[in-house]
Amino acid sequence: MKKGVFLIVLLVLIQNVSASYISGDIYLYNDGLSKIDVKSDVPLNIKGIIFIPETQTLKGETSSLIDKNDWIWSFSLNGETYDSIFLDIHLPSSTNRIYSIEGNDHIVDFDKKTISLINEDRKLDFNIKYETERENNYFPVYLVIIFLLVLLIVIGYFLMISKNKRKLEEVFPFINDKEKEIIELLMKKSLRQKEIRKNLGIPKASFTRYILNLEKKKLIIREGEGKNKMVRLK
């Protein structure tokens, strides 16, 4: 009987003197999730985090540790009092500024975006506020500006075409039918003289007269050297 009581007391004493610990990695993401992969003999009361007693492991993902206000993120982690705390908090790779760090003793490696918590005989109590890059926020604005510029160019182009078309149509009563056909053909695209004459089937002598007449009226422009010049609307 005495031996049994002694064993019970001994087990209680062993439990009381056993050291509690927590160590491992916690990853923070831009979508507000935290991924926990740590070793500990004490469970954490966090939604989404599973404690596996056999392997003394805490694993899982949770959205309950991170808050966001505009572009400032806040991560908080609270737990029991541990004899040993060694945790690496991995910030998002897009982190560009740390506003504040409170709680457990820590070492900051900003290049690696990592905060290492190192403490003995302390309660797990840690908070960090940080900011992530904002470039993604401006991309749609640039996209809208580019779209508007392209739209203005397209509208301006069609307005110019429409204006030129109306201007040419106003002179139709003052030119003959063949000259009108030449103008209508050039309204589609610029052509060389031989191409115009071939398309419309106009004799060479008559064609030269029509071209000179349209040129005098400042309705067309001929460019290039030689007899087969490029003709376009003015």
Does 19-133 match 175-234 in CATH topology? Answer: no
Residue spans of beta strands (DSSP E) within the chain: 21-28, 34-40, 49-52, 57-62, 66-69, 72-90, 95-103, 106-109, 114-132, 191-192, 220-223, 230-233
The band of 2, judged by pLDDT with boundaries at 50, 70 and 90, is very low
Nearest residue to 118 via CA among 69, 83, 170, 68: 83
How do residues 157-216 score in pLDDT, each as one tens digit?
787 767 666 666 666 667 788 888 888 888 888 889 889 888 888 888 888 898 888 888
Q: Where do the structural domains in the chain lie, given as residue ranges?
A: 19-133, 134-171, 175-234
Virtual torsion, Cα 143, 147, 153, 156, nearest 10 deg: -140
Three-point CA angle 31, 34, 38, nearest 5°: 160
How do residues 166-181 score in pLDDT, each as one tens digit?
666 666 667 788 888 8
pTM to 2 decimals?
Answer: 0.53
Question: Helix (H) and strand (E) counts for the chain?
Answer: 5, 12
**Cα–Cα dist 48/219, whole Å:** 78
Are the beta carbons of 64 and 46 closer than 8 angstroms? Answer: yes
C-alpha distances out from residue 11 to 19, 21, 48, 53, 210, Å: 14, 20, 32, 18, 116
* Domain 19-133 of CATH type 2.60.40: yes
CATH topology of domain 175-234: Arc Repressor Mutant, subunit A (1.10.10)
